[in-house]
Structure 1
């Protein structure tokens, strides 16, 4: 059984299941173990990366980055 997309509402999911059952669309293929391991390790690196970067920055550098982000966020 293939994984179903999580962003579908109940009606869309039901339609997709029926379409797969009658062969109108092909079920999504499972991701092989090698790709799955690469994806998980990349995710791990992403989770660790922000904290590791923040630990290396000086308070002044962090402040400059925060100011730049706020300016970009509130720019018109």
Structure 2
């Protein structure tokens, strides 16, 4: 049985999934609270603040440069900056 992003079990086929959603909607079964991801909520809040502050302090050119390098790393291509080395 496939699992959702938090490890919860979900039906594999469309019909079973539709029945599962119907049972949740009618109250026949409980959907269940999302599982705890094991991260400290305060740390997550501070991390989100820091990321936003970093983005605000950067120039659009620098943000684009970082995004291009990340995409190159993700897709396995070499960025312009790496080719100059």
Taking structure 2 as the reference length, what is the TM-score of the superposition? 0.42
Relative contact order, higher structure (CA 8 A, sep 6+) = 1
